[in-house]
A and B are shown apart, each in its own frame.
Chain A
Amino acid sequence: DARVTQTPRHKVTEMGQEVTMRCQPILGHNTVFWYRQTMMQGLELLAYFRNRAPLDDSGMPKDRFSAEMPDATLATLKIQPSEPRDSAVYFCASQLGPVGGRKEKLFFGSGTQLSVL
Protein backbone atom coordinates (compact mmCIF):
# COMPACT_ATOMS: atom_id res chain seq x y z
CA ASP A 1 0.00 0.00 0.00
CA ALA A 2 1.80 3.14 -1.25
CA ARG A 3 2.06 5.97 1.23
CA VAL A 4 3.99 9.12 2.06
CA THR A 5 6.42 8.55 4.92
CA GLN A 6 7.48 11.33 7.27
CA THR A 7 10.10 11.28 10.00
CA PRO A 8 10.23 11.98 12.85
CA ARG A 9 6.62 11.69 13.98
CA HIS A 10 7.30 13.87 17.01
CA LYS A 11 10.06 16.36 17.77
CA VAL A 12 10.58 18.39 20.92
CA THR A 13 13.43 20.86 20.84
CA GLU A 14 14.64 24.03 22.46
CA MET A 15 14.49 27.44 20.89
CA GLY A 16 17.51 28.12 18.69
CA GLN A 17 18.12 24.51 17.75
CA GLU A 18 18.10 23.22 14.18
CA VAL A 19 15.21 20.97 13.16
CA THR A 20 15.20 18.72 10.11
CA MET A 21 12.06 16.96 8.92
CA ARG A 22 12.16 14.33 6.22
CA CYS A 23 9.66 13.04 3.72
CA GLN A 24 9.65 10.08 1.36
CA PRO A 25 7.01 10.67 -1.31
CA ILE A 26 5.10 7.87 -2.98
CA LEU A 27 7.32 6.21 -5.58
CA GLY A 28 6.71 7.77 -8.97
CA HIS A 29 5.05 10.92 -7.66
CA ASN A 30 6.75 13.95 -9.13
CA THR A 31 5.20 16.74 -7.06
CA VAL A 32 5.90 17.24 -3.36
CA PHE A 33 4.33 19.76 -1.00
CA TRP A 34 5.15 20.93 2.51
CA TYR A 35 2.24 22.18 4.63
CA ARG A 36 2.03 23.46 8.19
CA GLN A 37 -1.11 23.03 10.29
CA THR A 38 -2.01 25.04 13.37
CA MET A 39 -5.27 25.62 15.17
CA MET A 40 -5.17 29.33 14.39
CA GLN A 41 -4.10 29.27 10.73
CA GLY A 42 -5.28 25.88 9.55
CA LEU A 43 -3.27 24.35 6.70
CA GLU A 44 -0.70 26.66 5.12
CA LEU A 45 1.36 25.83 2.06
CA LEU A 46 5.04 26.39 2.76
CA ALA A 47 6.72 25.13 -0.43
CA TYR A 48 6.38 22.69 -3.26
CA PHE A 49 8.52 20.95 -5.83
CA ARG A 50 7.91 19.39 -9.20
CA ASN A 51 10.46 16.98 -10.63
CA ARG A 52 12.69 18.04 -7.71
CA ALA A 53 12.72 21.70 -8.77
CA PRO A 54 11.30 24.23 -6.30
CA LEU A 55 8.25 25.91 -7.84
CA ASP A 56 7.05 28.05 -5.01
CA ASP A 57 8.31 28.70 -1.51
CA SER A 58 6.59 32.02 -0.95
CA GLY A 59 4.77 30.67 2.09
CA MET A 60 7.99 29.95 3.93
CA PRO A 61 9.90 32.35 6.22
CA LYS A 62 13.07 32.56 4.16
CA ASP A 63 15.36 33.66 6.94
CA ARG A 64 14.99 30.45 8.92
CA PHE A 65 13.27 27.83 6.76
CA SER A 66 14.70 25.92 3.83
CA ALA A 67 13.30 23.10 1.73
CA GLU A 68 15.20 20.79 -0.59
CA MET A 69 14.84 17.60 -2.60
CA PRO A 70 18.27 15.94 -2.72
CA ASP A 71 16.77 13.18 -4.84
CA ALA A 72 13.39 11.98 -6.06
CA THR A 73 12.84 9.84 -2.96
CA LEU A 74 13.64 12.43 -0.28
CA ALA A 75 12.38 15.90 0.58
CA THR A 76 13.65 17.83 3.59
CA LEU A 77 12.39 20.84 5.52
CA LYS A 78 14.85 22.56 7.84
CA ILE A 79 14.31 25.24 10.44
CA GLN A 80 17.37 27.04 11.77
CA PRO A 81 17.12 28.55 14.31
CA SER A 82 13.79 27.24 15.56
CA GLU A 83 11.41 29.46 17.54
CA PRO A 84 8.39 28.66 19.75
CA ARG A 85 6.04 30.09 17.09
CA ASP A 86 7.21 27.31 14.74
CA SER A 87 5.38 24.76 16.91
CA ALA A 88 2.88 23.05 14.63
CA VAL A 89 2.26 19.86 12.68
CA TYR A 90 4.22 19.77 9.44
CA PHE A 91 2.80 17.66 6.65
CA CYS A 92 4.36 16.44 3.48
CA ALA A 93 2.13 15.51 0.56
CA SER A 94 2.85 14.07 -2.86
CA GLN A 95 1.04 13.90 -6.13
CA LEU A 96 1.44 12.52 -9.62
CA GLY A 97 0.76 15.17 -12.10
CA PRO A 98 -0.27 16.68 -14.19
CA VAL A 99 -1.19 13.67 -16.34
CA GLY A 100 -2.45 14.75 -19.73
CA GLY A 101 -3.34 18.10 -18.19
CA ARG A 102 -5.34 16.43 -15.44
CA LYS A 103 -4.19 16.79 -11.86
CA GLU A 104 -4.41 13.80 -9.58
CA LYS A 105 -5.19 13.21 -5.91
CA LEU A 106 -2.99 14.60 -3.18
CA PHE A 107 -1.63 12.05 -0.68
CA PHE A 108 -0.52 13.19 2.78
CA GLY A 109 1.97 11.77 5.23
CA SER A 110 1.11 11.39 8.93
CA GLY A 111 2.96 14.60 9.80
CA THR A 112 5.70 15.70 12.18
CA GLN A 113 4.43 17.19 15.44
CA LEU A 114 6.99 19.87 16.32
CA SER A 115 7.19 21.51 19.73
CA VAL A 116 9.76 24.27 20.24
CA LEU A 117 10.21 25.16 23.91
Chain B
Amino acid sequence: KQEVTQIPAALSVPEGENLVLNCSFTDSAIYNLQWFRQDPGKGLTSLLLIQSSQREQTSGRLNASLDKSSGRSTLYIAASQPGDSATYLCAVSDDNFNKFYFGSGTKLNVKP
Protein backbone atom coordinates (compact mmCIF):
# COMPACT_ATOMS: atom_id res chain seq x y z
CA LYS B 1 0.00 0.00 0.00
CA GLN B 2 1.24 3.47 -0.88
CA GLU B 3 2.44 5.49 2.10
CA VAL B 4 2.94 9.23 1.90
CA THR B 5 5.07 11.06 4.45
CA GLN B 6 5.46 14.79 4.94
CA ILE B 7 8.27 16.33 6.89
CA PRO B 8 8.30 18.52 8.90
CA ALA B 9 4.90 18.23 10.56
CA ALA B 10 5.04 21.90 11.48
CA LEU B 11 7.15 24.84 10.38
CA SER B 12 7.33 28.41 11.59
CA VAL B 13 9.22 31.03 9.57
CA PRO B 14 9.48 34.83 9.48
CA GLU B 15 7.76 36.69 6.67
CA GLY B 16 9.81 36.99 3.49
CA GLU B 17 11.71 33.75 3.91
CA ASN B 18 11.89 31.17 1.13
CA LEU B 19 10.94 27.69 2.28
CA VAL B 20 10.68 24.09 1.14
CA LEU B 21 8.10 21.50 2.15
CA ASN B 22 8.87 17.84 1.59
CA CYS B 23 6.76 14.89 0.54
CA SER B 24 7.92 11.31 0.08
CA PHE B 25 6.06 8.25 -1.15
CA THR B 26 6.92 4.57 -1.03
CA ASP B 27 5.65 3.33 -4.40
CA SER B 28 7.08 5.19 -7.39
CA ALA B 29 4.38 3.87 -9.74
CA ILE B 30 2.28 6.98 -9.42
CA TYR B 31 0.16 8.70 -12.05
CA ASN B 32 0.26 12.21 -10.67
CA LEU B 33 0.94 14.19 -7.52
CA GLN B 34 -0.99 17.13 -6.16
CA TRP B 35 -0.20 19.71 -3.54
CA PHE B 36 -3.12 21.09 -1.54
CA ARG B 37 -3.62 23.86 0.94
CA GLN B 38 -6.08 23.55 3.84
CA ASP B 39 -7.12 26.48 6.00
CA PRO B 40 -8.60 25.78 9.46
CA GLY B 41 -12.20 24.60 9.21
CA LYS B 42 -12.10 24.57 5.43
CA GLY B 43 -11.77 22.08 2.62
CA LEU B 44 -8.66 21.45 0.57
CA THR B 45 -7.67 23.70 -2.30
CA SER B 46 -5.56 22.24 -5.08
CA LEU B 47 -2.41 24.30 -5.63
CA LEU B 48 -0.39 22.38 -8.18
CA LEU B 49 -0.78 19.14 -10.11
CA ILE B 50 2.23 17.35 -11.56
CA GLN B 51 1.66 14.53 -14.03
CA SER B 52 4.07 11.61 -13.70
CA SER B 53 5.76 12.59 -16.98
CA GLN B 54 6.53 16.07 -15.67
CA ARG B 55 9.35 17.25 -13.43
CA GLU B 56 7.86 20.43 -12.05
CA GLN B 57 4.99 22.88 -12.07
CA THR B 58 4.93 26.56 -11.17
CA SER B 59 2.17 28.90 -10.10
CA GLY B 60 3.12 32.37 -8.91
CA ARG B 61 5.38 32.05 -5.89
CA LEU B 62 4.90 28.29 -5.74
CA ASN B 63 7.04 25.69 -7.45
CA ALA B 64 6.54 21.96 -7.07
CA SER B 65 9.04 19.37 -8.25
CA LEU B 66 8.67 15.64 -8.68
CA ASP B 67 11.34 12.94 -8.67
CA LYS B 68 9.53 9.65 -9.19
CA SER B 69 12.63 7.48 -9.02
CA SER B 70 13.49 8.65 -5.52
CA GLY B 71 9.84 8.91 -4.44
CA ARG B 72 10.04 12.59 -3.55
CA SER B 73 8.34 15.88 -4.20
CA THR B 74 9.07 19.33 -2.86
CA LEU B 75 6.94 22.44 -2.67
CA TYR B 76 8.96 25.63 -2.78
CA ILE B 77 7.34 28.83 -1.55
CA ALA B 78 9.19 32.03 -2.39
CA ALA B 79 9.00 35.20 -0.31
CA SER B 80 6.55 33.75 2.20
CA GLN B 81 3.68 35.90 3.51
CA PRO B 82 1.44 35.61 6.59
CA GLY B 83 -1.41 34.69 4.23
CA ASP B 84 0.50 31.54 3.32
CA SER B 85 -0.11 30.19 6.83
CA ALA B 86 -2.08 26.97 6.43
CA THR B 87 -1.61 23.22 6.33
CA TYR B 88 -0.09 21.91 3.11
CA LEU B 89 -0.84 18.36 2.03
CA CYS B 90 0.49 16.29 -0.82
CA ALA B 91 -1.40 13.43 -2.43
CA VAL B 92 -0.36 10.82 -4.97
CA SER B 93 -2.63 9.01 -7.37
CA ASP B 94 -1.86 5.47 -8.37
CA ASP B 95 -2.02 4.34 -11.94
CA ASN B 96 -4.90 1.93 -11.95
CA PHE B 97 -7.61 2.98 -9.63
CA ASN B 98 -7.28 6.74 -9.33
CA LYS B 99 -7.04 6.46 -5.58
CA PHE B 100 -5.39 9.41 -3.93
CA TYR B 101 -3.14 8.76 -0.96
CA PHE B 102 -2.62 11.76 1.30
CA GLY B 103 0.21 12.73 3.57
CA SER B 104 -0.58 14.03 7.03
CA GLY B 105 0.42 17.55 6.08
CA THR B 106 2.85 20.28 7.12
CA LYS B 107 1.37 23.06 9.21
CA LEU B 108 3.02 26.30 8.14
CA ASN B 109 3.03 29.48 10.20
CA VAL B 110 4.48 32.61 8.61
CA LYS B 111 5.11 35.26 11.25
CA PRO B 112 4.67 38.95 10.34
Given contacts A42-B105, A102-B51, A103-B32, contact A48 B44 (CB under 8 A): no
Partner of A108, one of B43, B99, B103: B43
Minimum CB–CB distance from B89 to chain A (whole Å) comes to 7
Q: Is the CB of B46 within 8 A of A103?
A: no
Residues from chain A with a CB closer than 8 A to the CB of B97 are 55-56
In Å, the complex CA distance between A35 and B98 comes to: 14
Classify chain A's interface size.
20 to 34
Given contacts A93-B44, A95-B98, A107-B46, list 12 more A-B pairs with CB under 8 A. Answer: A4-B43, A42-B104, A45-B100, A48-B98, A55-B97, A91-B44, A103-B31, A103-B93, A103-B98, A105-B49, A108-B45, A111-B43
Closest 5 CB pairs of A and B: A108-B43, A43-B102, A108-B44, A105-B46, A42-B104
